[in-house]
Amino acid sequence: MGRKPVVVINGRFLAQKPSGAQIYAFNLLDNAITLPEWTEFTWILAVPEKAQVPTHWLEAFDEIRRKGSLVRNPWDHFVLPSLIPTGALLISLASMPSIRIKRQLFCLHDVFPFVMPSVFNPLALKWYRWLYKRSINTFPFFVVSHYLARLVKQKFKKRPIDVIYPAGDHMDNIKPLSVDFPLPKLYVFVAGGNVAYRPIAPVVKALEILRKQGLDIHLLFTGSSNKLLYNLQDRDSYKPWVKRVSLPEAGHVKYVMQNAIAVVVPSLDETFGIPVAEAGVCKVPVIVSEAPGLSESGAPCLKFPVENPQILASHILALLTDYRFKKTYIQMLHSHSLKFTWKRSAHQFLKVVSRVTL
Task: Give φ, ψ of 89 to 5 degrees.
Answer: -95, 125
pLDDT of residue 109: 96
Instruction: Lowest mean pLDDT of 13-17, 19-23, 97-101, 120-124, name the range.
Output: 120-124
Are 66 and 134 contained in the same domain?
A: yes
Are 144 and 37 contained in the same domain?
A: yes
- Bridge-based pairing state of the strands 63-66 and 141-143: unpaired
Q: Is residue 44 part of a domain?
A: yes
CA atoms within 13 A on the CB side of 170: 22
pLDDT of residue 1: 42
Cβ atoms of 6 and 353 closer than 8 Å? no
Q: Is residue 1 part of a domain?
A: no
pLDDT band at 98 (very low <50, low <70, confident <90, very high): very high
Are 180 and 305 contained in the same domain?
A: yes
Instruction: Give the residue-averaged pLDDT of 88-103.
Output: 95
Are 163 and 16 contained in the same domain?
A: yes
Q: Is residue 199 part of a domain?
A: yes
Number of domains present in the structure of the chain: 2
pLDDT of residue 199: 86
Q: Is residue 158 part of a domain?
A: yes
Instruction: Give the residue-averaged pLDDT of 184-204.
Output: 88
Q: Is residue 177 part of a domain?
A: yes
Are 123 and 235 contained in the same domain?
A: no
Cβ atoms of 79 and 97 closer than 8 Å? no
pLDDT band at 78 (very low <50, low <70, confident <90, very high): very high
pLDDT of residue 341: 96
**Cα–Cα distance measured from residue 102 to residue 59, given in angstroms and rounded to the nearest whole number:** 28
pLDDT of residue 196: 74
Q: Is residue 18 part of a domain?
A: yes
**Is the predicted pLDDT of residue 93 greater than 90, yes or no?**
yes
Q: Is residue 137 part of a domain?
A: yes
pLDDT, one tens digit per residue, over 208-252 is: 999 999 999 999 998 765 554 555 455 555 689 999 898 989 999
Burial of 347 (0-12, 13-18, 19+ CB in 10 A): middle
Which domain CATH number covers 178? 3.40.50.2000
Instruction: Give the residue-averaged pLDDT of 320-346.
Output: 93
Are 13 and 115 contained in the same domain?
A: yes
pLDDT of residue 193: 72
Are 207 and 280 contained in the same domain?
A: yes
**Is the predicted pLDDT of residue 337 greater than 80, yes or no?**
yes
**Is the predicted pLDDT of residue 102 greater than 50, yes or no?**
yes
Bridge partners of 46?
A: 10, 65
Cβ atoms of 194 and 223 closer than 8 Å? yes
Are 188 and 113 contained in the same domain?
A: no
Give the domain range for residue 130.
6-167+341-357
Instruction: Give the residue-averaged pLDDT of 323-352.
Output: 94
Neighbours of 104 (CB within 10 A): 21
Length of the chain: 358
What angle do the packed helices 122-138 and 146-156 form, to 10 degrees? 90
DSSP 118-135: GGB-HHHHHHHHHHHHHH
Residue that wins the pLDDT comparison between 346 and 125: 346
Are 236 and 300 contained in the same domain?
A: yes
Amino acid sitting at position 336: H
Are 51 and 156 contained in the same domain?
A: yes
pLDDT, one tens digit per residue, over 256-277 is: 999 999 999 999 888 888 999 9
Q: What percent of the chain clears pLDDT 90, i.e. is strictly above it?
A: 75
pLDDT, one tens digit per residue, over 15-59 is: 988 888 999 999 999 999 999 999 999 999 999 999 999 999 999
Highest mean pLDDT of the ranges 237-246, 299-308, 309-318:
309-318
Are 71 and 122 contained in the same domain?
A: yes
Are 216 and 276 contained in the same domain?
A: yes
Q: Check the CA dihedral 230-236-240-243 and report its sign.
A: negative
**Cα–Cα distance measured from residue 50 to residue 62, given in angstroms and rounded to the nearest whole number:** 20
